């Protein structure tokens, strides 16, 4: 099989696995969603980066010396509940803006295998439907316990928690000064004002 060194060599109508993904030798950022290649948006805008930094900083400080770990894109999260066939059975690889993993058994040199405890996606032009519907469904199905969607334009943080029935329940929408509660790390304080500072 010829090496895949450019995105144009992929057949975007076919299904791929993580085993295929590992052989690709191009620099474009892509995700695999249920076996389908999804192109990542162009480099995030400055506003996106500001918000990401504003959220990451308190998380990193809080987690110092603790067992949970925080990662940011690019960081491969392989969503699967079964690994019987190894990499060839994995059809979903995502790159969340920010994720927190509290089970060290899920971490390896290639990223995270299984659902992180907490994922934060920051909306950008072009990824609204992907983050609010497609990834919402994926993260719910995979068992991500807490999912935040941050909307820079509206200065809004939408928080979903996985309920007992395995479905996301709206924890709240936060769009004014005050703390945004973190179920995964209850002692962590993230202030709405700080999330959108400088934006």
Residue 153 lies in a domain: yes
- Whole-model pTM: value is 0.91
In the block, residue with structure tokens 């990662």 = 71
Whether residues 151 and 58 share a domain: the answer is: yes
Residue 1 lies in a domain: no
Whether residues 51 and 71 share a domain: the answer is: yes
Q: Quickly state the pLDDT bin for 36 (edges 50, 70, 90).
A: very high
Q: Are the C-beta atoms of residues 58 and 189 closer than 8 Å to each other? A: yes
- Scored b (16 or more CB within 10 A) or e, 123-150 reads bbeebeebbeebbbebbbebebbbbbbb
Whether residues 25 and 99 share a domain: the answer is: no
Does the pLDDT of residue 195 top 90, yes or no?
Answer: yes
127 vs 78, residue with greater confidence:
78
Q: Quickly state the pLDDT bin for 50 (edges 50, 70, 90).
A: very high
Query: Any idea what the CATH number is for the domain that residue 82 is in?
Result: 3.90.1570.10
Q: What is the pLDDT of residues 55-108, one digit of tens each?
A: 999 999 999 999 999 999 999 999 985 555 678 889 999 999 999 999 999 999
pLDDT in the model for residue 111: 96
Whether residues 191 and 142 share a domain: the answer is: yes
DSSP conformation class of 138:
H
Q: Which residues pair with 42 in a beta bridge?
A: none
- Domain holding 131, by residue range, is 46-195
Task: Compute φ and ψ for 91, nearest 5 degrees.
Answer: -115, 0
Whether residues 26 and 101 share a domain: the answer is: no
Whether residues 63 and 19 share a domain: the answer is: no
Whether residues 83 and 162 share a domain: the answer is: yes
pLDDT in the model for residue 126: 66
Q: Taking residues 36-53, report their average pLDDT.
A: 84
Whether residues 74 and 14 share a domain: the answer is: no
Q: What is the DSSP string of 15-84?
A: ---HHHHTT----S-EEEETTEEEEPPSSPPHHHHHHHHHHHHHHHHHHTTSS-EEEESS--EE--S--T
Whether residues 116 and 177 share a domain: the answer is: yes
Tell me how many domains the chain contains.
2
Whether residues 21 and 100 share a domain: the answer is: no
> CA 65, CA 179: separation in Å to the nearest integer?
23
């Amino acid at each position: 099989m010829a090496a895949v060194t450019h995105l144009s060599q992929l057949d975007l109508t076919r299904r791929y696995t993580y085993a295929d993904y590992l052989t690709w030798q191009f620099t474009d950022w892509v995700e695999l969603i249920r076996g389908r290649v999804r192109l990542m948006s162009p480099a995030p805008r400055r506003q996106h980066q500001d918000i990401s930094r504003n959220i990451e900083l308190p998380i990193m400080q809080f987690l110092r010396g603790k067992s949970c770990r925080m990662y940011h894109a690019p960081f491969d999260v392989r969503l699967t509940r079964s690994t019987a066939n190894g990499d060839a059975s994995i059809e979903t690889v995502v790159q969340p803006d920010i994720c927190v993993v509290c089970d060290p058994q899920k971490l390896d040199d290639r990223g995270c295998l299984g659902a992180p405890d907490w994922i934060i996606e920051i909306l950008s032009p072009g990824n609204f439907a992907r983050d609010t519907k497609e990834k919402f469904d994926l993260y719910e199905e995979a068992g991500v316990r807490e999912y935040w969607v941050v909307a820079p334009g509206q200065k809004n943080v939408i928080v979903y928690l996985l309920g007992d029935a395995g479905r996301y329940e709206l924890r709240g929408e936060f769009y004014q000064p005050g703390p945004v509660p973190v179920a995964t790390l209850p002692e962590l304080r993230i202030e709405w004002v700080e999330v959108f500072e400088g934006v």
